[in-house]
Amino acid sequence: MTCGLLERGTIELYWYGELSQGERDEARRHLDRCLECRQALHDIEIIAAALAERPEVASPPGGDWSRFMAELSAAVAAEPRPKRTPPAESVTRAGRHRLVPYLASAALLALVTMSVFTLVRGRSATPPDGFRADVVMDVSFEARPPSLPDPALVSLSDQHFQRSKLVLLGLTTRDTAAPAAEDWEYERDLAATLLQDTRLYRRAVEEHGMTGLADVLRDLEMVLLQTSMSEGPDRESLEGIQRLIRRRDLLTRMSVVHAGGF
Amino acid sequence: MSDSDLIPRAAGGDPAAFQALVERHRPMVYRVAYQFAGNHHDAEDIAQDVFLKVFRSLDRFRYDAQLTSWLYRIVMNACIDHRRRQKSGGWVPGEEAEGTLLNMPEESPGPEARAYGGEIGQALEAEIGRLPAGQRVIFIMRHHQGLKLTEIAEALGLAEGTVKRQLHAAVHRLRHALTRANVLASANGAAGGGA
């Protein structure tokens, strides 16, 4: 049977110096009498000693950045010129709401949705040697002009948005005092699945300069990531996620964007 | 010139300002990318990807955040994206959950990585390569960047409890894998039987 302190990760936190003085004193006393935890601490010391020998590599071979910088310059030069927009801190919520009519355009929605599928197709295809997948993807964006909205694709993006909102609503209304393990498991799995699609949609809308929607999707991505990485129905994780949803006013913003056309 | 001076200039299209930002932060980005990937080829790909994303997003940078924290998030995402591309060569949304997608070992460590640490170092390198991407990023940030758990949580936008659990899971997994491989047992023996 594994010692409870070891199971909870206290011994690692002791080694990392992440315990309070009181917890540290208690852990030290525990270590005096627990052979299993002493053994674990010794293992961690061995791992840390081996890791300390792991090389710190902070530059390309020989410290030569010239090829790296040349490739980056070429990639940047191929990008559209940055727009002279005010920094994000000065974009008010009212400013975001002014984007809603823009987001409501069915043609743009179809374009974004189709871009996602184009992106997936670009990634599914094996790029020729010497070509990076994302370069192939960028080319395919330019090569495929928007066409008429496809109701099936529009419906798919709508479903994605609805499912994401349901996960958020579930997380927001969950009782932090007694989160149910089964519900949590379901929401975590769903969040992990939705995360990938959200990332695709976010990239597609960024490509089209739809900064308001991209902001919403980025925040949604953050919540889904936190949810999918949480391991159990514990109060601290759930409260953290609920705080994030509230702070970013995410449900309201998703509703506004959705009402505007999704 | 500080980051907060350079960012608006770079966002406005000043190439010298963008280059100055890249030169200032490329060692950190490369170090994390290399620790994640274990070889130069992939580390360069990841670092390129990171700075291209930075270029695309500079005008959306939130000035209430630290640039390094923001960069960490971009590096983490770039590492995860890179692993996904590497694993599948093509990818369909909804194919697998984030946590299980990213569990493939690196193909081959670089010469620096191969040279270190003897039996434990080699075994550790292989096991780090098998950690899920999220755990690996957190483990690397703690061990190689020396960041406190609160700093990692802030940089990645995660709850501190989540970081603790992911780190615990990573260390637990490494310990057990190395024990199974008899590497720790032999090290403990060599060290005189442990505590």
Maximum Cα interatomic distance, chain A, rounded to a whole number of Å = 73
Which residues in chain A are closer than 8 Å to B136, comparing Cβ atoms?
none
Quick check: B102 pLDDT over 80?
A: no
Write down the pLDDT at residue A151: 53
B36 versus B50: the higher-pLDDT residue is B50
Q: Which of A43, A58, A237 sits opposite B175 (nearest CB)?
A: A43
Mean pLDDT score, B146-156: 82
Write down the pLDDT at residue B114: 47
**Minimum CA–CA partner of A90 in chain B:** B62
**Minimum CA–CA partner of A41 in chain B:** B195
User: Please, how many CA atoms are within 13 Å of residue A197, restricted to the half-sphere of its CB?
Assistant: 20
Close Cβ partners of B4 (under 8 Å, ≥ 6 residues apart): B63
Write down the pLDDT at residue A61: 92
| A10, A33, A42, A43, best to mutate vs chain B, most B CBs in 10 Å | A43
| A7, A16, A46, best to mutate vs chain B, most B CBs in 10 Å | A46
Which residues in chain B are closer than 8 Å to A16, comparing Cβ atoms?
142, 149
pLDDT band at residue B50 using 50, 70 and 90 as cut-offs: very high
Domain ranges of chain B: 3-190
The pair of structure tokens assigned to A151 is 């109701």
Q: What is the average pLDDT score of chain B?
A: 75
The complex's ipTM works out to 0.71
The pair of structure tokens assigned to A99 is 């984007």
CA distance B33 to B4: 24
**Among candidate residues A94, A88, A111, A120, the one with its CA nearest the CA of residue A208:** A111
Q: Give pLDDT tens digits for A82-103.
A: 554 444 443 333 444 443 333 4
Topology classification of domain B3-190: Rna Polymerase Sigma Factor; Chain: A (1.10.1740)
CA distance B38 to B114: 9
Q: HEC states along A151-180?
A: HHHHHHHHHHHHHHHHHHHHHHHCCCCCCC
Write the DSSP symbol of residue B115: H
CA distance B57 to B54: 5
Contact A239, A176 (CB under 8 A): yes
The C-alpha R_g of chain A, in whole angstroms, comes to 24
Write down the pLDDT at residue A183: 65
Contact A145, A118 (CB under 8 A): no
Quick check: B100 pLDDT over 50?
A: no
Residue B25: its H or E element: helix B15-37
Write the DSSP symbol of residue A112: H
**Among candidate residues A76, A148, A78, the one with its CA nearest the CA of residue A113:** A148
CA distance B134 to A82: 31
Q: Which of B8, B30, B161 sits opposite A87 (nearest CB)?
A: B8
Quick check: B192 pLDDT over 80?
A: no
Provide the 10 A C-beta neighbour count for residue B115: 11
- Which range has the top average pLDDT, A131-145, B53-67, B162-176? B162-176
Mean pLDDT score, B132-149: 81
Count CB pairs under 8 A between chains A and B.
222
Mean pLDDT score, B27-42: 88
Which residues in chain B are closer than 8 Å to A192, comparing Cβ atoms?
97-99
Which residue reads 């006393």 in tokens? A29
For A225, the 3-state DSSP assignment is helix
A176-209: string of b/e by CB count within 10 Å (b at 16+)? eeebeeeebeebbebbbbbbbbbbbbbbbbbbbe
**φ/ψ of residue A64, rounded to 5:** -90, 110
In angstroms, the first-to-last Cα distance of chain A is: 53
The total number of residues shown for chain B amounts to: 195
Contact B167, B142 (CB under 8 A): yes
Q: Give pLDDT tens digits for B109-130.
A: 454 544 455 677 778 888 888 8
In angstroms, the first-to-last Cα distance of chain B is: 51
Q: Which residues of chain A register pLDDT less than 50?
A: 84-107, 119-150, 153, 260-262
Write the DSSP symbol of residue A99: T
Q: Do B31 and A76 touch (CB under 8 A)?
A: no
